Amino acid sequence: MQHTPLTLMPSSELPTCPARLCTRQSSFAPSSDRRNGFTVVETMLVIAIVGILAVIALASYEKYRERIKMAQAVSDIGSLQPLIAQYALDNNGYPDTLADVGRANMMDPWGNPYHYLNHDDNKQRGKWRKDHNIVPINSDYDLWSSGKDGASSPPLTAKPSRDDIVRANNGRFVGLASDFDP
């Protein structure tokens, strides 16, 4: 068997093929028959991403609004304390209601009235706010907002009371009931 040596042909002598058979476009090159614009899949993907971002933004904004409302309730309770203290100095005793200090219709940021209990009135003893040991959290008076849910119960550990904004330790603590730990 005889082997023939392999020789390279000059490019000018290479065979040519018809244009319709030899044209091969790269899959990355733009097609001449493709229209400009977005496909349905691309559009749906963009809408899904925008939707997810909107849900995250709304949740963050709602948390921010709740923090603002809680801060407003803390501020309101803080502004009521000097009024009650001044009334106690002027009248030799705490007021029976918030109406006595001119705040009968004062509403918390959630649209509920603020609650006040004078500890001089022993008939209200069962309604006094209590910590996890069922010990009253104040010795002078209780002042609180029922929070977002509008419900409350005397023990701060009860589920309806966890979101209340309370005055405790005779005014040394004003904040979220779930954050109070004597």
Report d(CA 90, CA 87) in Å as an integer: 5
Q: Does some domain include residue 95? A: yes
In a domain, 11, yes or no: no
Tell me, what's the pLDDT at 5?
Answer: 61
- How many structural domains compose the chain? 1
Residue 31 lies in a domain: no
List the CATH number of the domain containing 119.
3.30.700.10
Q: Is residue 7 part of a domain?
A: no
Tell me the C-alpha distance between 87 and 154, whole Å. 25
Look at residue 122 in the predicted model and tell me its pLDDT. Answer: 81
Q: Closest Cα to residue 157, out of 126, 131, 176, 128?
A: 131
Q: What count of other Cβ atoms lies within 10 Å of the Cβ of residue 178?
A: 14
CB of 72 within 8 A of CB of 88?
no
pLDDT in tens, the chain (182 residues): 566 665 665 656 655 655 555 555 555 555 555 667 889 999 999 999 999 999 999 999 999 999 999 999 999 999 999 999 999 999 999 999 999 999 999 999 999 999 999 999 888 888 999 999 999 999 999 999 999 999 999 999 999 999 999 999 999 999 999 999 76
In a domain, 24, yes or no: no
Q: Which domain holds residue 115?
A: 40-179
Residue 8 lies in a domain: no
Q: Among 169, 170, 165, which residue's Cα sits nearest to residue 179?
A: 165
pTM exceeding 0.85? no
Residue 59 resides in a domain: yes
Q: How far apart are the first and last CA of the chain?
A: 104
* φ and ψ of 3, to 5 deg: -100, 135
Residue 113 forms part of a structural domain: yes
